[in-house]
Structure 1
Amino acid sequence: MSADVIKVGLLGLGTVGGGVIKTIRSQQEKLSARLGKRIEIVKALVRDSEKERAVQIDQAILTTDFEDVLKSDVDIVVEVMGGVEPTYDYVRALIEKGCHVVTANKELLAKRGTELVELANQHEVHLAYEASVAGGIPILSVLRQFLRTNDISGVRGILNGTTNFILTKMEAEQLSYQEVLKEAQELGYAEADPRSDVEGFDAMYKLYILAQLVYGESLPLADVVRKGISDLSAGHIHIASELGYRIKLIAQAYQTEQGIRLSVQPTMLPVVHPLAQIQDAFNAVQLSGNIVGDLLFTGRGAGELPTASAVVEDLAYLLTQPFAPHPAWKEIAATQSGALQEDQCSLCYLEGSCSSATPDRVLHFLRTAGVSIHKLKVQFDLGGVLRAGLITSGLTAEHEAVLESDFGLSVRCFPVLETAE
């Protein structure tokens, strides 16, 4: 490093990359005082060097060729281009050169993080990734602090702001999923292709990273229980509300007797649950420690400045810390993780014709089959359609199959998270 300047390269200059430049510029005086050196962006890899940008930058800094970044004298590279290929190859080459890397790329870490962590340790460089989970919420730093004394029994949260915005609007304005998705896209919350968000992939990648940090291991992504929100209807949202619950896309990682369990799925929360109170595009992470108890962290999980804030904090942190080997990441084979236990309680949403299924017949079948029913809400409409919401325990896939085949009902079940434990 230069005696007076820390030279930084950027891979990507989109929303977050622009936010990184703005943050460094606005906080330059504070950063210089803290680090004893000025931070200077000296090279930025972009797809189109002629594109008009929201942030002013010297054209001489821009390049469309990664080799220009690799051959430059950068001390640290900030990766905010996203994706796995060719990003993995770029990050690998930088680490092998001995360059520190700060990344906000949760997909890259979830799919290739085990290799990158090992490589960074081999070359004794920092690989920092606070911005990859929950944007501006410094949850990874908090976990590193608390893991020194606390055993974390579980971590759960709302890790995707797009889906939380959609669910909030569906409930508050009684709109359909498609109506709210269109609005989210117009506002810039959702991409033109929203599948990564609405099908739970984005939250799954973040959960994988949290599990590696908390437990030192994770399940392969293919073994994570993942369900999205694209099949949710206004009826699901309404009947949950009638029963005193709210549906949120909840990511959870916790220990069972069979090993760790990871899931991302629409989940029923009592409206008084702390996570049920998180609205709009906000994220939240709840930790359960054996000494500290329950902690809740909330804030904006995405966007230009929250994510850029985490990137620049990582950058400043690693410049003040000597290298220390990162705990190795590993994956547990599916056979080692054991079978996942059924959730004790669930909301069973039923919809079908009253001519083939009446509430009395359905309840008689379930009780005879040994299913416990804790709460019940039944709705009819003038078209002879039955809609019912049941909070149950002991409901199995076999019971669901009978409800569909013998009673002509469509069935949608949601796990219930009753407490904040």
Structure 2
Amino acid sequence: MSRRVVITGAGTINALGSDVPATLAAMREGRSAIGDLDIRDVDRLTIRIGAQVKDYDEGAHFNRQQIALYDRYTQFALLAAGQALAQAGLTFQGELAARSGVILGTSGGGLNTQDENYRAVYEGGKNRVHPFVVPKLMNNAAAAHLSMEYNLKGPSFTVATACASSNHAIGQAFHFVKSGMADVMVTGGAEAMLCFGGVKAWEGLRVMSRDTCRPFCATRSGMVQGEGAGIFVLEEYEHARARGADILAEVAGAAMTSDASDIVMPSRQGAERAMAGALEQAGLNTGDIGYINAHGTGTAANDKIESAAVAHVFGADADRLAISSTKSMHGHCIGATGAIELLACIMALRDGVIAPTANWQEPDPECALDIVPNVARDATVTACLSNAFAFGGMNAVLALKAV
């Protein structure tokens, strides 16, 4: 059985905004949310910038008992999911609850909780920690709390594939609905790695920028971490249409490949196979695609290899293809990044607006694509791709169509 899969709800919290309208408005403006980090011991860091969710008050959203159970990444997931499910207008009881689940992506999980408790034990000399530390920091905590909050009794789990986590999660959710294993899936990703330990670990890779993120630019200096969540409701098309749901877009294909080559260096061939696979599964030709939301990290290796992969897969059609990296605005949100970037794809399909690559200064001959520099562009887009290429050589590409 093969069924159509559509998106009927979307929610987010990230450095650009606390919901979808605010995020899309910032993308239209080409506004970057990258700035100085406000975290403990920032003076001990070499990298002191990020795309941080500022002025966030957990007490405004959750009570003390919930905060004892919810790491910052889980809080982000719950807030975004609340928006997505409110837009979808779904409640889960009986058979629908049994045939609905949640698949989320995250890389660090409850990293803030780990950081805080390592400090308590090793720096503070404490011999005991809170009894809920393990259920608070575990990578499946957000998925578990979503399933409990909304009575989702079907397949529920977490995907952890570094920077491709949320694209893998959305791809899995797509296949569950498409195959008939579920009627509705709540999916996306959440990440909150902007704590001292999280940033210090990334410093060691020497791929981080000290000023800002400039993907596909000749003067690019590396990636910039972000944080947040993007959550979506994926639903079988006839089920959505029967209840008069507002359909945001159709997920038409999802392909996943492994480079099987290097733990950190990306492979052009792996990226190519993922993009080509998503097109084939969606029944699309290269000429059908009007926009690609690139992985576009702003690192020397990713940007030139991704550019070469796009050029090889699309051939002559690459010359008329718009491609941008919104990481220049919301930062690299690691396990949540593909989910937040999916919002830019929906904006292109629904509103006819392509989000720009912000902070761009000058062309790089090795990235000779139309990267929509600095200013958003009006365009008619009927189909698009969203790329995610992770450490470990794990790639996931989503294909979407307008409905």
For normalisation by structure 2, the TM-score amounts to 0.28
Higher strand proportion, which one?
Answer: 1
Q: Which has the higher contact order (CA 8 A, sep 6+)?
A: 2
Greater gyration radius: 1
